[in-house]
Amino acid sequence: MRILKMLAAAAALTLAAGGALAQGVEKPKLVLGVGGKPLLYYLPLTVAERLGYFKEQGLDVEINDFGGGAKSLQALVGGSVDVVTGAYEHTIRMQAKGQDIRAVIELGRFPGIVLAVKKDKADKVKSPADLKGLKVGVTAPGSSTNFFVNYLMAKAGANPRDAAYIGVGGGMSAVAAMQKGEIEAISNLDPVISKLEVDGTITVIADSRTEKGTKEIFGGSNPAAVVYLKQDFIEKNPKTVQAIVNAFYKSLKWLEKATPEDIAKAVPEAYWLGDKELYTRAVKASMETYSRTGVIPADGQKSALDMLKQFDPELANANVELSKTFVDSFVKKAAAGGM
């Protein structure tokens, strides 16, 4: 009985704290855009949602899951979402287009993206340059998975435009597209990649799920998923942005200590793609990717810009101020306990 009373008291305190925070933030109700929520790339978002970290911060977050990162970016620009969990590269590309969009916390320090080909094509496709003329599945055209292929092809001396990019999403639709032969290569993330590996459907060409693999591809760190917003929203709603960052920072800290089994229990069963053991295997393969600090290092920012310059003519001669792509003050305050 005493334990029940203690739990009830704790719950009441949590609700009271959430209510107090809600009164402090400028915009407690938010719409968040993401492109492929079940992907492990966006696991910190699901953790924040499922473990109640948004509510703890006094936020009521509606999550809109789009087919890929490019679509969630479009939603932010169009005004139908307030905040996005997406690839850091989008902040660079939008700045080059004159739109001030900034990241406020790094969720992934390595992309976690894998480029693979269908097993029966492996003898002919030895490098990304050999993708010429092939149908390559990406989460959505213009997304980070698309950028990954573009970069690898350009780096290998090929023209990225010589491949055909097909949006296949980030779940069972992507798995089915490869298994049915609708695509011949795929650039995607876990658990999709682990599912295709276990089934013996693909041969991996490039793998950025680990520090070693990322360094081989990019020569150093390369930031992946971040939380980004329009700069005018940040200026008008600093307490709201701090609350968002606090929730995601708490997710990163939880992930540092969580086991793959803990994570499998925390996410919806639909994320397992019908196989819990497969999902835990995918989590193990991706655990290195998550940010330890929430801060994008300067060399990581430069690496992302250099990658984009390889294949994006708009950025080849653009004057991009990397200092304006990431605001570190919110995550530093969260790390200092100012939550």
Q: How far is CA 192 from CA 177, 236, 239, 271, 283, in A?
A: 11, 39, 36, 10, 11
pLDDT at 338: 61
Same domain, 119 and 97: no
Which residues are CB-neighbours of 125 under 8 A, at least 6 positions away?
Answer: 117, 131, 134, 185, 205
Which of 152, 174, 207 finishes a domain?
207
- Amino acid, single-letter form, for residue 338: G
pLDDT at 339: 55
Same domain, 106 and 229: yes
Query: What's the total number of domains in the chain?
Result: 2
pLDDT at 245: 98
- Beta bridge pairs of residue 60: 29
3-class secondary structure, 18: helix
The neighbour count for residue 271, using CB atoms within 10 Å, is 21
pLDDT at 171: 87
Same domain, 182 and 260: no
Same domain, 168 and 243: no
CATH number where 123 lies? 3.40.190.10
Contact at 8 Å (CB) between 146 and 140?
yes
| 213 in a structural domain | no
Same domain, 82 and 230: yes
- Owning domain of residue 67: 2-110+222-335
Same domain, 46 and 95: yes
| 212 in a structural domain | no
Same domain, 84 and 167: no
| 311 in a structural domain | yes
pTM of the model: 0.87
pLDDT at 1: 41
Same domain, 119 and 57: no
pLDDT at 14: 41
Angle in degrees, CA 39, 40, 42, rounded to 5: 75
Contact at 8 Å (CB) between 129 and 101?
no
For residue 237, how far is the Cα from the chain centroid? 23
| 323 in a structural domain | yes
Same domain, 229 and 150: no
- In the predicted model, residues of the chain with pLDDT beneath 50 are 1-22
pLDDT at 5: 41
| 217 in a structural domain | no
Same domain, 86 and 124: no
| 214 in a structural domain | no
| 215 in a structural domain | no
| 176 in a structural domain | yes
Same domain, 202 and 287: no
pLDDT at 182: 97
pLDDT at 35: 92
Same domain, 96 and 165: no
* DSSP strand pairing (114-118 vs 225-230): unpaired
